[in-house]
């Protein structure tokens, strides 16, 4: 399973992203991610609609794509309209994106 995640917006307007392949993770981490996706019932989530007043300045926006055996589902959601139960998945993917960003900065700084 592959999971693509992007968080954009916020006060600073910085985008962070990560692509996680469960085949490349330690078994406990892969299981945790699989469980979070299962808990959200990701493949049946409706995509949230845009609020009546449109985009709210400085809000976080998330794009999550999960791909399993050639089947793909993408959810794009602004922070206040997140589907129920998706917060733990967003928190975990944000942690992965930050960790990947820090590793890249450290690797780049050694050069």
Q: What pLDDT, in 10s, does the model give residues 39-94? A: 999 998 876 554 444 556 678 889 999 999 989 999 988 877 788 889 999 999 99
Residue 41 is classified by DSSP as T
Q: Hey, is 71 helix, strand or coil? A: strand
Burial of 20 (0-12, 13-18, 19+ CB in 10 A): buried
Q: Is the pLDDT of residue 109 over 50?
A: no
Res 111 pLDDT > 80: no
DSSP 8-class letter at 82:
P
Q: Which pLDDT does position 27 carry in this prediction?
A: 94
15 or 52, higher pLDDT: 15
Model pLDDT, residue 68? 92
């Amino acid at each position: 399973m592959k999971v693509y995640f992007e968080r954009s917006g916020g006060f600073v307007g910085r985008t962070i992203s990560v692509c996680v392949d469960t085949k490349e993770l330690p078994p406990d981490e892969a299981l945790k991610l699989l469980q979070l996706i299962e808990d959200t019932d990701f493949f049946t989530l409706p995509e949230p609609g845009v609020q009546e007043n449109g985009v709210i300045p400085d809000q976080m926006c998330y794009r999550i794509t999960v791909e399993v055996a050639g089947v793909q589902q993408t959810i794009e959601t602004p922070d206040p309209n997140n589907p129920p139960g998706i917060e733990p998945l967003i928190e975990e993917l944000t942690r992965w994106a930050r960790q990947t960003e820090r590793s890249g900065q450290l690797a780049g700084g050694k050069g």
